[in-house]
Amino acid sequence: MAAEVVTERDLLEAARAGDERAYRGLVEPHHRELHAHCYRMLGSVQDAEDALQDGMLRAWRGLPRFEGRSSVRSWLYKVTTNACLDVIARRPKRMLPIDYGPPADPHDDIAKPLVESVWIEPYPDLLVDPGDGMLGPEARYERRESVELAFVAALQNLPAKQRAVLILREVLGFSAAEVADVLDTTVQSVNSALQRARKAVDERLPAESQQATLRALGDEQIEQLVETYMRAWEAGDVDTIVAMLAEDVTLAMPPMPTWFQGREGVTGFLTQFAFADQERRRQLVSFAGEQRRVRLVPTSANGQPAFAGYYWNDDAGAYLPRALQVLTLRRGQIIDITGFADPALMRPFDLPERL
């Protein structure tokens, strides 16, 4: 006897009757894309998780009022979008250090981390829906393109409603009428907000997305770049790293507000801070020979090449996670290094706890 086919309508009716298992079956297929949506809105993995949980609780409590005039997916986007708007209303906007203040002099000390985090956080590629292309027929941005650091940073500078409109229309491909329903407004207001949001975002984005850059480079060249960078960083090889940098490169280290601009500024940081004890490292000897004090593990974040940095800890007798670096490339050179110096941000990346 053929297995009974359970439709979305069946799950909805069971869930409205109080069946929590049916409710999970109704919403879990949308969990990954909703989580990414909350991240685009908020710029933080933890905030996205909290907003998504809040949205799912609102959806459960609001089931009796859901009349089914829209799809379950559209309804879930409505409740999670409004949960995100509530988060935005009660906390400062998130940003990258380059939007926080001017670049630092490499001869000055590194500023202390801010007590209250206002920084954009990295997003693991493993959480992005693996499907290719756009999410909807009216979408303008690719899936991975819509979580790139530059794009997420540009979104955070938009007023909350404009941010929601642009994401729903041009990332997810919802129609203007659907977005008006999500935000309880008019189609005219949606179109007006979209026009302003698109102009503001386009002014902040580079001419070419990272996805276009990576496709142009090709897998072989990207792998070679990643390998060269990893080995040079582990060895404290400033010259090799500097040779990979664009002239107008930037380097930032949230939660520290300090950031450096230009090849000269980044070189100063590497020599005076990052690799200042390079010679001491090389003198340390283990049973196997030279004992390196740092190791990088390749990963990917925000649709871009990334590295988890592990540093030797004598007490633990192991390399422990310290920072996650995300690279932004342009024509085969590194145009930006963002080092998220918070081990907690590495937890969603499915990386080893120690090496």
Q: Could you tell me the domains of the chain?
A: 1-91 (1.10.1740.10), 122-215 (1.10.10.10), 218-349 (3.10.450.50)
Amino acid identity for residue 238 in this structure: V
pLDDT at 135: 62
- The Cα-based distances of 99 to 33, 119, 250 in angstroms read 28, 10, 12
**CB-count exposure of residue 286 (10 Å: 0-12, 13-18, 19+):** exposed
- The Cα-based distances of 188 to 166, 176, 191 in angstroms read 14, 8, 5
Report d(CA 326, CA 135) in Å as an integer.
25
Interval 174-229: pLDDT, tens: 999 999 999 999 999 999 999 999 999 999 999 999 999 999 999 999 999 999 99
Spatial CA neighbour of 85 closest among 145, 32, 161: 161
**Residues of the chain under the 70 pLDDT cut:** 1-5, 130-138, 277-292
DSSP string, 152-173: HHHHHTS-HHHHHHHIIIIIS-
pLDDT at 283: 46
DSSP string, 219-264: HHHHHHHHHHHHHHHHHT-HHHHHHTEEEEEEEE-TTS--EEEHHH
Report d(CA 318, CA 88) in Å as an integer.
40
pLDDT at 3: 45
pLDDT at 25: 93
Interval 224-267: pLDDT, tens: 999 999 999 999 999 999 999 999 999 999 999 999 999 999 99
Q: What are residue 321's DSSP bridge partners?
A: 310
**CB-count exposure of residue 278 (10 Å: 0-12, 13-18, 19+):** middle
DSSP 112: P
